[in-house]
Structures are given as structure tokens and as C-alpha cells.
Amino acid sequence: MGFGLWLFIITFVGTLLVQFWLKRTYGRYARVANASGLSGAEVAKAMLRANGLHDVRVEPVQGVLSDHYDPRSRTVRLSADNYRKASVAGMAVAAHEVGHAIQHAKGYTPLQVRAALVPVASIGANFGPWLVIIGFMIGAMGLAQIGIILFAAAVLFQLVTLPVEFDASNRAMRQLAQMGLVTPTDSGGARMVLNAAAMTYVAALAASLAYLLYYLSIFLANRE
């Protein structure tokens, strides 16, 4: 069995395990009511008011774990359950997304860098690996090199995403505590949800970095 196949199997299994952990952790605390009795939408709106972000909207969005902050329209979007239910998971996720809104308002540098990388990272993630594979197949090392550079931009985007996500979670937990919205019991569950979500980004980065190094090793071997 070749190294490339082993790499695919290891990263695939690792990603599945992390996704399973996230869904299991989220599912557990989505069924636990938070002590404040506030829905995710109410938590988000309270945090936004406390930070003077009166121009940021909070809206429901379809899907599960589809929560996100849209900097273009300045909107915190929460999946339906998190929007309307007063759960520990919903509170944690809502606070995390407001954390991104606070980052945006304060001009958090890693968030700005990530936003600047979006166009090239999108191209790199979608087309970089294909250019690498085609380049290797037809012996066009120049084409493979372009693919590697594009894919490296996508990996850089994932790398910059880590401090953005961890900082948003830290801001969320700090704000929840300062505003008295979270009890010690709720705090532990909320932190577990956010940690599980953060690990999905770590796993994705590890998998992409492994493939980037694999592509580079083949490219350098062919050059020699």
C-alpha cells in the first residue's frame, strides 16, 4: 500500500473521529437547558448590546451547525435550534459567533488576514490539488508547482483560521461570565462544545498540511 493511500486513510479516519466527537458533544449539550433560560438568539442580542454593536443583526438559518457570522452584511446567523432553544450548546455557539462580530468591530488582525486570503484560498482548495495531480501525470512540473502554490494558500488560510476561532471562543466564554449568563456547570459544557468545534479546524489543517508535504516531496523528487 502506497504512502499516498495510507495518508488518505489516516486523514479520512481522523476527520471522521473528530466530526463524530463534535456531533456527540453538541448533541449532548443541545439537550441540556442553560441556567439563564435564554435562547441562542437572546444571548447573541444581549452580547451585541453589551458591546455597542447595535448594527449587527441576528437571524435564523437552515441546517445543523450552520451557524456563522457574515461580515459583509454584519449578521450573526444561528441554526434554527440554536436560535430558538435555551440550551447550553445554543448559548455557546451564539456567543462564539458574536465573538467573530466583536473581532470584526475591533479590527482583529488575523480575521482581516483571513478575509484577504479568501479569494486565492478558495481557488487553491478547489483547483490546486487537481493541477498537482495532472502536472504529475503528464510530467508538467511547472503546472504541478502552480498547483502546490495555490494549495499552500489554502493551507495558510486554514492556519490563520485557528487563532480566529480560538480567540472567538475565548471572547465568548469571557463575555458570558462577565455578563453573568453562564453558571460554573454551564461553563464546562459550553467550553466542551467550543473545544470540539475548534478541533474540526485543527484536524482539517493537519490533513491539508500532510497532503501539502506529500505533494512537495513528490515534486522535489521529480526535480532531482
Of these ranges, 162-171, 179-188, 201-210, the one predicted with the greatest mean pLDDT is 162-171
- Are 57 and 75 in contact by the 8 Å Cβ rule? The answer is yes
CB-CB contact of 154 with 128 (8 Å)? yes
pLDDT at position 85 is 95
> So which residues are the catalytic ones?
97
Q: Where are the alpha helices (DSSP H) in the chain?
A: 3-30, 40-50, 80-84, 88-106, 109-138, 141-178, 184-223
| Percent of all residues in the chain with a pLDDT value above 90, rounded to a whole number | 82
Report which of 41, 156, 34 is spatially closest to residue 94, judged by C-alpha positions. Answer: 41
Give 127's Cβ-side CA count (13 Å radius): 10
Are the C-beta atoms of 29 and 190 separated by less than 8 Å?
yes
Asked if residue 224 has pLDDT above 70, the reply is no
Helix (H, G, I), strand (E, B) or coil at 54: coil
Domain total in the chain: 1
Average pLDDT over residues 27-51: 95
Average confidence score pLDDT of the chain: 92
What is the model's pLDDT at position 3? Answer: 67
Given this model, what pLDDT does residue 4 score?
Answer: 65
Could you tell me the residue range of the domain that residue 9 belongs to? 3-223
Q: What CA–CA distance (Å, rounded) separates 112 from 93?
A: 22
Give the DSSP H/E element, type plus range, for residue 67: none
What confidence score (pLDDT) does residue 5 get?
Answer: 67
The 8-class DSSP code of residue 156 comes to: H
* Cβ contact 32:88 at 8 Å: yes
Least confident of 13-17, 49-53, 122-126: 13-17
State the CB neighbour count (10 A cutoff) for residue 30. Answer: 21
Contact of 41 with 58, CB cutoff 8 Å: yes
pLDDT surpasses 60 at 153? yes
